[in-house]
């Protein structure tokens, strides 16, 4: 496999996360932030922590149209980004959500199917 094929495979692997970043969702935001978005932005895309926090905050603002998040979401985002950085966490894959959070898994799968992305 040459470098461009490896790059394409990697981008296909995370295409659903890019769509998730541009799409507001009503539920599961805390889990998505800590298990997917913070690890993806910091350890896959390699962006600075402050920029990752800003990207996630913008996503949360879009999601607030469903229902505002309760509590100090900025502090939660900062902790999630710091933990992802310190532990070098990678984003959870979909099989994790399929077994542990089936409703959130279905929501993500529905989102992907609306963009015609094959995820399994």
Instruction: Read off the pLDDT of residues 52-61 as tens digits, 9 standing for 90 and up.
Output: 999 999 999 9
Residue 83 falls within a domain, yes or no? yes
| 21 in a structural domain | no
Domain count of the chain? 1
Phi-psi category of residue 68: left, alpha or beta, with phi > 0 → left and psi -120 to 50 → alpha: beta
The answer to the question of residue 1 being in a domain is no
User: Where in the sequence is the domain holding 110, given as residue range(s)?
Assistant: 27-114
In a domain, 110, yes or no: yes
User: Is 14 inside a domain boundary?
Assistant: no
pTM of the model: 0.82
Across the chain, mean pLDDT equals 84
Nearest Cα neighbor of 105 from 15, 36, 9, 21 is: 36
């Amino acid at each position: 496999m040459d470098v461009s094929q490896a790059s394409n495979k990697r981008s296909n692997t995370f295409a659903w996360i890019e769509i998730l970043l541009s799409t507001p969702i009503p539920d599961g935001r805390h889990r998505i932030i800590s298990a997917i978005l913070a690890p993806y932005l910091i350890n896959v895309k390699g962006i600075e922590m402050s920029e990752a926090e800003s990207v996630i905050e913008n996503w949360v603002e879009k999601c607030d149209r469903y229902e505002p998040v309760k509590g100090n979401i900025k502090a939660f985002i900062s902790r999630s980004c710091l933990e992802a950085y310190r532990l070098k966490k990678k984003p959870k894959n979909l099989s994790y959500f399929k077994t542990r959070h089936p409703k959130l898994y279905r929501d993500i799968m529905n989102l992907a199917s609306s963009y015609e992305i094959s995820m399994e």
